[in-house]
Amino acid sequence: PEERVFNFAAGPATLPANVLKKAQAELYNWRGSGMSVMEMSHRGKEFLSIIQKAEADLRALLDIPEDYAVLFLQGGATTQFAMIPLNLCKPDDPVDYVVTGSWGDKAFKEAQKFCMPKVIWSGKSEKYTNIPAFESLEQNPDAKYLHICTNETIHGVEFNDYPTPKNGILVADMSSNFCSKPVDVSKFGLIYAGAQKNVGPSGVTIVIIKKDLIGNAQEITPVMLDYKIHAENNSLYNTPPCYGIYMCGLVFEDLLAQGGLTEVEKKNKKKAELIYNAIDESNGFYRCPVEKSVRSLMNVPFTLEKSDLEAEFIKEAAKEKMVQLKGHRSVGGMRASIYNAMPLAGVEKLVAFMKDFQAKHA
């Protein structure tokens, strides 16, 4: 019962063992309060100390400037697909979307309900395996913002640097690479991320927004979708996802204790390199379709040359306690999600398994 698997799921995803153990130790009676975090008033001093520390630690991790607000919201990154245009645009405002995978495409489609978005680049015809050269982007000078998804979870395509919006604001869905490496927050107007990949359980969505962008929501905007309401109330306008925020706080503490995001990035690079090398050195037995320079450090999609062996690969890996390696239903094959909390040992075990499997079947 003590034994855990290596969980390569794309999200909800594996969490750090020490964080889970700490949460377990504090579950029944949080730090002498006589109750669990799930039972606390969100307006009591105990929970206030939890959410304030979570925010302070996140600010330290990402070096978030003072003129940015940090919001802990609900509704997943999917709600942000609507909330962003509702708050940053009027119905006839143009905005630009660079679509490097299915999540960027979903964000674009939702924005069509609230403003006039245009896809200025799409990787769809190349099956979402690359990222455009930024100089070639034909941005609308009047676009209210430029939207990107910095890491496409399904296709495994990750931005290493970021385009500069012509006349406006860079907005980024960082759901699947949030806090996996240092980011210059000042380059962005708004960053958003569902917590359930790198920093916590599902149910918490983090928004980092430049304060001067807050307060311009369209009139029809529901109260829960107005950044101003949440910013003015320090994410406590209504009952927030208290336990999830607490868990994110424990993860932030752990990332700081590891030495911050520069150290975290080093570990992530090392893990990703091990898997990509195994793929590239397999003489075509394993394949990763993504253009090398933009391969994700977080989600590694790969296929087998002998595709009829893929089901067996997934089944055999699961027998060895490496689970959730099946690729997304839209692309097939395999996908290894190796977020912050995936230990090096998990990746080493997977790579050893890949080599064995190849030796058996080549």
Residue selected from 50, 54, 83, 149 as contacting ligand PMP according to rule CB under 6 A? 149
Catalytic annotation, pick one of 57, 93, 103, 326: 103
Burial letters for 254-285: b for 16+ Cβ neighbours within 10 Å, e otherwise?
bbbeeebbeebbebbeebbebbbebbeebeeb
Catalytic annotation, pick one of 96, 105, 173, 254: 173
Closer CB to ligand PMP, 149 or 264, in the complex: 149
Q: Is 68 in the site for ligand PMP (CB under 6 A)?
A: no
Quote the tokens at residue 194: 């569902």
Among the listed ranges 20-28, 48-56, 72-80, 240-248, the one in contact with ligand PMP (CB under 6 A) is: 72-80
Quote the tokens at residue 353: 């398994």
Number of residue whose CB is nearest ligand PMP: 76
In 3-state terms, what secondary structure has residue 176?
A: coil
Q: Is 77 in the site for ligand PMP (CB under 6 A)?
A: yes
Q: Phi and psi of 183, rounded to 5°? A: -135, 135
Paired strand residues for 302: 334
Residue selected from 55, 96, 105, 173 as contacting ligand PMP according to rule CB under 6 A? 173
Minimum Å gap between C-beta 192 and ligand PMP is 9
Minimum Å gap between C-beta 241 and ligand PMP is 12
Minimum Å gap between C-beta 176 and ligand PMP is 4
Cα separation, 224 vs 14, in Å, equals: 29
- Identity of the amino acid at 201: P
Distances (CA, A) of 236 to 46, 215, 247: 14, 17, 17
In 3-state terms, what secondary structure has residue 270?
A: helix
Q: Is 192 in the site for ligand PMP (CB under 6 A)?
A: no
DSSP 8-state secondary structure symbol assigned to residue 193: E
Minimum Å gap between C-beta 158 and ligand PMP is 10
Closer CB to ligand PMP, 206 or 304, in the complex: 206
List, in sequence order, every beta strand (DSSP E) within the chain.
6-7, 68-73, 94-99, 116-122, 145-149, 151-152, 157-158, 169-173, 190-194, 205-210, 286-287, 299-304, 322-323, 334-337
Minimum Å gap between C-beta 329 and ligand PMP is 13
Cα separation, 78 vs 193, in Å, equals: 10
Cα separation, 176 vs 197, in Å, equals: 6
Residue selected from 78, 216, 234, 258 as contacting ligand PMP according to rule CB under 6 A? 78
Site string for ligand PMP, 318-347 (x = CB under 6 A): ------------------------------
Catalytic annotation, pick one of 144, 197, 267, 326: 197
Site for ligand PMP in 96-125 (CB under 6 A): 103
Minimum Å gap between C-beta 121 and ligand PMP is 17
Active site residue 103: yes
Q: Phi and psi of 322, rounded to 5°? A: -115, 110
Q: Is 194 in the site for ligand PMP (CB under 6 A)?
A: yes
Query: Would you please indicate which residues are annotated as catalytic (active-site) residues?
Result: 103, 173, 197
Residues that bind ligand PMP (CB under 6 A): 11, 76-78, 103, 149, 153, 173, 175-176, 194
